[in-house]
Amino acid sequence: MTVQRRKMRSFLSTVAGGPQERSGIELRAGHYRAVQRGLTHEHFDAFVAHFREALEDSDVQASFIDDLLYRVEQMRSDVLGL
Ligand code: HEM
């Protein structure tokens, strides 16, 4: 659970733009193993749908949700190593 929390925090701070900025190269390197094991667009799409739902279920402003999801899409190709 501690590891899961750390990963969730790293993910959220990356998507929200700080304090830990991550380069495209770092995102590629960080997901290389997952891509080798079969991480694809399909998984990415499923993740985006769940993330959107979780944000909509919480008190996050709609414009901020759009912002976050836009940033997630900007990172797609680096995460998938494309
Ligand atoms: C914009 C989208 C994403 C961002 C910004 C992101 C960010 C990150 C970060 C920062 C880490 C490193 C966590 C740490 O160890 O501190 C990480 C690891 C990981 N991410 Fe993502 N992630 C994204 C999408 C995804 C998706 C869609 C999946 C799978 C459905 C995924 C699967 C993983 C896995 C499996 C690891 C651990 C890699 C390993 O330990 O080998 N990520 N991600």
Mean pLDDT score of the chain: 93
Question: Nearest residue CA, atom 17 of ligand 1?
Answer: 30
What is the distance in A from the centroid of ligand 1 to the CA of 11?
7
Q: What is the Cβ-side half-sphere exposure of residue 55, based on CA atoms within 13 angstroms?
A: 18
Report which ligand 1 atom has the smallest distance to the Cα of 14. 5
Q: Which residues contact residue 69 at a Cβ distance below 8 angstroms, ignoring those fewer than 6 apart?
A: 48, 51, 52, 55
Report which ligand 1 atom has the smallest distance to the Cα of 73. 1
pTM recorded for the entire structure: 0.90
Q: Which residues contact residue 72 at a Cβ distance below 8 angstroms, ignoring those fewer than 6 apart?
A: 15, 48, 51
**Which band of pLDDT confidence, cut at 50, 70 and 90, is reported for residue 19?**
confident
Q: What are phi and psi of 64, to 5 degrees?
A: -75, -35
Whether the per-residue pLDDT at 18 is higher than 90: the answer is no
